Amino acid sequence: GQQLNQSPQSMFIQEGEDVSMNCTSSSIFNTWLWYKQDPGEGPVLLIALYKAGELTSNGRLTAQFGITRKDSFLNISASIPSDVGIYFCAGQLNSGGSNYKLTFGKGTLLTVNP
């Protein structure tokens, strides 16, 4: 099946720094989603991207849907301690009878040092 390569696996940064993470796929997606998971909680949707080339912001977060439809990145500007968590990308094909299937990356563990 489809697989997503999410990188980096983990990041250790200082408060105030900018962060960038990305996901790549060998096949195309029609939708890219970025989720954040805090310890002991479920993933929470951060940004949804529906069109190739789309650039969307949510506060200090910015994500882009790659023009090839095979990749996406998430940037976090001016990081703060509460940005700590695991960030997941997910791709969705939205075709045929199985458009509900999401392919998830393995996640990027972000640690922010105050």
Partner 1 sequence: ETGVTQTPRHLVMGMTNKKSLKCEQHLGHNAMYWYKQSAKKPLELMFVYSLEERVENNSVPSRFSPECPNSSHLFLHLHTLQPEDSALYLCASSQGLRGQGISPLHFGNGTRLTVT
CB nearer to partner 1: pick between 37 and 77? 37
How many angstroms separate the CA atoms of 76 and 32, rounded? 17
The site for partner 1, by CB under 8 A, has a size of 25
- Contact 108/8 with Cβ under 8 angstroms? yes
- Contact 39/82 with Cβ under 8 angstroms? no
How many angstroms separate the CA atoms of 81 and 69, rounded? 32
70 counts as binding partner 1 under rule CB under 8 A:
no
Amino acid at 56: T
CB nearer to partner 1: pick between 79 and 87? 87
The piece of 14-22, 60-68, 72-80, 101-109 that touches partner 1 (CB under 8 A) is 101-109
100 counts as binding partner 1 under rule CB under 8 A:
yes
The residues binding partner 1 (CB under 8 A) are: 4, 33, 35, 40-45, 48, 88, 90, 92, 94, 97-107
